[in-house]
Amino acid sequence: MPKTDKRASIHSAIAQKGNTFLRIMNFARPYTKDLARILLFMLIATGFSLLVPYISKIFIDDVFKPDHDTLQFSHAAWFMPAIGVMFFAYAIQIFSSGFFQWLSGKTGHKTVHDIRVLVFSKLQTLSLSYFDKHTTGGLLSRVNQDTDDVQFLIVEFLPLAIQSFLMLAGVGVFLCVLSVNLTVFVALPVVILVFFGRKMVKNALSHFNTYFSQRSRLSEFAADSLTGIRVVKAFGQEHRQIEMFRDYSANFRDTGITVMKMWSIFHPLMQFFIMSGTVLVWAVGGRLIFAKTMTLGTVVAYGGYLAMFFSPLLTLVNMLRNISTSLSAAQRVFSVLDESPKIRDAADAVAMQAFAGTIEFRNVEFGYAFDKPVIKNLSLKIFPKEKIGLIGKSGAGKSTIINLLCRLYDVDKGVITIDGVDIRHIRTQDIRKNIGIVLQDTFLFNGTIFDNIAYAKPDATREDVVDAAMAAHAHEFICKKRDAYDSLVGERGVALSGGEKQRIAIARALLLNPAILILDEALSSVDTETECKIQDALENLTKNRTTIAIAHRLSTLQTYDRLFVIENGQCIEFGTPDELFNKKGAFYTMVTMNRKNTHGNAGTFGEGIFS
């Protein structure tokens, strides 16, 4: 990159970080009263800390200095009051500092809590397409690690920065009051420090950015690997994961070493300039004492103030690394907050409390990537309480049809209607409330069996849940668990078989009592014996509601009213199972293939299509 471009990009990064900082500060707005209190206590602490070196000057120049002629301590009476003032100055400074640190910590934690909840809430509202493009590890990192990093900015950096600036301003005034001449000399290393510091800071920032991006990638990779640990183990890919982690970590290590190298040059240089200032005070101040134009007390006090001047500067520089992390983290947090959900209710969205269950796809086209259509000019109509099967090869577009119907994605072309209303004009909450889904892999949250069944209907009564479990043929196995409906399931809970999980999912769907039911390969992960038990439960579930089932096992669709054969995102055949079989088209081929696989002969229609 040319030098000017690089400089421009660093400037732009800094400007961006400045904006980010201001945006973070906006989050502290609800706590302005607390912020005002923090500022007040900071002023008190800084003000009283400035008194101490001046009292030292009084001690040296007045209290402990004998009178030139009488050799008596003419200001001895000031001794105890000065001690008292020094004691109170220290005490007030220490307690005020403690108080503002507590207040700023409290405010910071409140602000970060707000941000964390906002990020999580935002993620909940984003469309599935957003999650398709981001890793789970990365998103976990946004919610946990990045918000924690932002916390540093608000809880630690901000109060310290304000206090440091107050201190710098206050000390600057005292330095000038004590000696303008000395201040001019001391200003020299400060100017050099600021000049070199700025250059180095800009340079360091670009390295810090790389460092923290790599850290983020490393933790995203680790989170992803651990989330998918079962898959890793199932495919024996532990070694590959370790190698990949080693590569990520090695990059992170190398950048870390570069950053440390820069830091180990930068930090001693800063300290060198600070030390030069102190030496200058004594060098110049000493000459002034010899020339009797300055008192010893003034030089001692000056030295004290100078230490107070450089100390916040050094603290701020030391914080540079963390500030950069926090600002980068904040930028990532804002990238989530700035995302707008692709699926949102239209302004004229209608409330539809209960669906009758008529579904129509008219010339629908859709692709997850704009140049790769998955659904092509699909048209189909499903009538209320009809039981429909979607069949076809893997990747034909069956699950996409379901995703579109649930409005997890919006169509690219065409329209999907429910009861004659375009689903883009129906409130999303009504769609979710009226469509129940039983998936192939039932996800159970950490919680009790009761919590999991009642998940879609939190206001369900105990009777409702037990009734749903009974209808799903889950009640009997639940009663055999030691804690029955209070049994914990999920990661920390009791192990449930695939069939048991599936019956809990059916109970969950039954409890919702949806007008439209979707069974997405609901029986493909269970054995034939369990399938029989679940079939019974499904009979109860599909009664009196529009049902759409996706199934590879054709036998599960034998009682369905109509079947749609999907191929390459299009419906190539539809009709009753008998009609389709007699047509001797794609469906016929699938059935005969299915039979060959299970019985070794093609059989005849008279034996029953699915037998």
Partner 1 sequence: MKMLNAEEFCIQKSSDNKLSLVYKTGKAYADVFFVPLFPHSMPRQYISIRFPTENNGEEEIGILHNLETLSSFEQKLAFETIEQRNPLAVITEILSIKMRGDTDHWHVETNKGQIHFIGERRYETIVLMKSGLVLVTDNQLNRYKIPNYYTLPQKQRILLEKVLS
Q: Which residue's structure tokens are 């602000």?
A: 111
Question: Smaller CB distance to partner 1: residue 399 or 448?
Answer: 448
* CB neighbours of residue 417 within 10 Å: 17
Residue closest to 563 by CA, chosen among 585, 541, 531: 585
Question: Smaller CB distance to partner 1: residue 372 or 480?
Answer: 480
Within residues 489-518, the interface with partner 1 by CB under 8 A covers 492-493
Q: Number of H helices and number of E strands within the chain?
A: 21, 12
Residue 451-470 contact track with partner 1, rule CB under 8 A, x = bound:
x----------xx--xx--x
Question: Smaller CB distance to partner 1: residue 132 or 483?
Answer: 483
Smallest distance, Å, CB 485 to partner 1?
5
Tell me the number of residues near partner 1 by CB under 8 A. Answer: 22
Span from 222-230, 238-246, 431-439, 480-488 in contact with partner 1 (CB under 8 A): 480-488
Span from 47-55, 392-400, 477-485, 545-553 in contact with partner 1 (CB under 8 A): 477-485
Q: In this structure, are residues 507 and 436 in contact, taking their beta carbons and an 8 Å threshold?
A: no
The set of residues, in sequence order, having a beta carbon less than 8 Å from that of 7 and lying 6+ positions away, is 202
Q: Give strand ranges (E) for 335-485.
A: 359-366, 375-382, 387-391, 413-418, 421-422, 435-439, 447-448
3-class SS of residue 610: coil
Q: In this structure, what token pair is assigned to residue 553?
A: 């096992």
Which of 483, 527, 578, 607 contacts partner 1 by CB under 8 A?
Answer: 483
Smallest distance, Å, CB 461 to partner 1?
10
Within residues 154-183, the interface with partner 1 by CB under 8 A covers none
Secondary structure, 3-state, 52-105: HHHHHHHHHHHHCCCCCCCCCCCCHHHHHHHHHHHHHHHHHHHHHHHHHHHHHH
Residue 413-452 contact track with partner 1, rule CB under 8 A, x = bound:
----------------------------------xx-xx-
What is the Cα–Cα distance from 367 to 374, expressed in whole angstroms? 5
Span from 49-57, 269-277, 486-494, 538-546 in contact with partner 1 (CB under 8 A): 486-494
Smallest distance, Å, CB 436 to partner 1?
21
Question: Smaller CB distance to partner 1: residue 405 or 454?
Answer: 454
Which of 484, 552, 570, 594 contacts partner 1 by CB under 8 A?
Answer: 484
What is the Cα–Cα distance from 90 to 366, expressed in whole angstroms? 71
Smallest distance, Å, CB 459 to partner 1?
16
Span from 82-90, 485-493, 539-547, 586-594 in contact with partner 1 (CB under 8 A): 485-493
What is the Cα–Cα distance from 402 to 529, expressed in whole angstroms? 28
Smallest distance, Å, CB 450 to partner 1?
7
Smallest distance, Å, CB 552 to partner 1?
33
Cα end-to-end span (Å), the chain:
69
Question: Smaller CB distance to partner 1: residue 484 or 572?
Answer: 484
Q: Is the dihedral of CA 6, 9, 11, 13 positive or negative?
A: negative
Question: Smaller CB distance to partner 1: residue 261 or 462?
Answer: 462
Question: Smaller CB distance to partner 1: residue 28 or 472?
Answer: 472
Bridge partners, residue 489, by sequence:
447
Q: In this structure, are residues 598 and 606 in contact, taking their beta carbons and an 8 Å threshold?
A: no
3-class SS of residue 418: strand
Q: Between helices 238-290 and 180-227, what is the axis angle to 10°?
A: 170
Q: In this structure, what token pair is assigned to residue 134?
A: 């981001």
Question: Smaller CB distance to partner 1: residue 239 or 492?
Answer: 492
Instruction: Decide if residue 479 touches partner 1 (CB under 8 A).
Output: yes
Distances (CA, A) of 401 to 106, 192, 387, 569: 49, 67, 16, 9
Smallest distance, Å, CB 466 to partner 1?
5
Question: Smaller CB distance to partner 1: residue 361 or 485?
Answer: 485
Which of 67, 132, 486, 527 contacts partner 1 by CB under 8 A?
Answer: 486
Span from 21-29, 322-330, 474-482, 573-581 in contact with partner 1 (CB under 8 A): 474-482
Q: What is the DSSP secondary structure assignment for residue 143, as one 8-state letter?
A: I
Question: Smaller CB distance to partner 1: residue 263 or 485?
Answer: 485
Smallest distance, Å, CB 302 to partner 1?
50
Question: Smaller CB distance to partner 1: residue 61 or 467?
Answer: 467
Which of 420, 480, 597, 606 contacts partner 1 by CB under 8 A?
Answer: 480
Smallest distance, Å, CB 483 to partner 1?
6
What is the Cα–Cα distance from 431 to 421, expressed in whole angstroms? 11
Smallest distance, Å, CB 137 to partner 1?
21
Smallest distance, Å, CB 214 to partner 1?
29
- For 505-534, b/e burial (b = at least 16 CB within 10 A) is bbbbbbbbbbbbbbbbbbbeebeeebbebb
Span from 106-114, 149-157, 478-486, 593-601 in contact with partner 1 (CB under 8 A): 478-486
Which residues here bind partner 1, judged by CB under 8 A? 447-448, 450-451, 462-463, 466-467, 470, 475-476, 478-480, 482-486, 488, 492-493
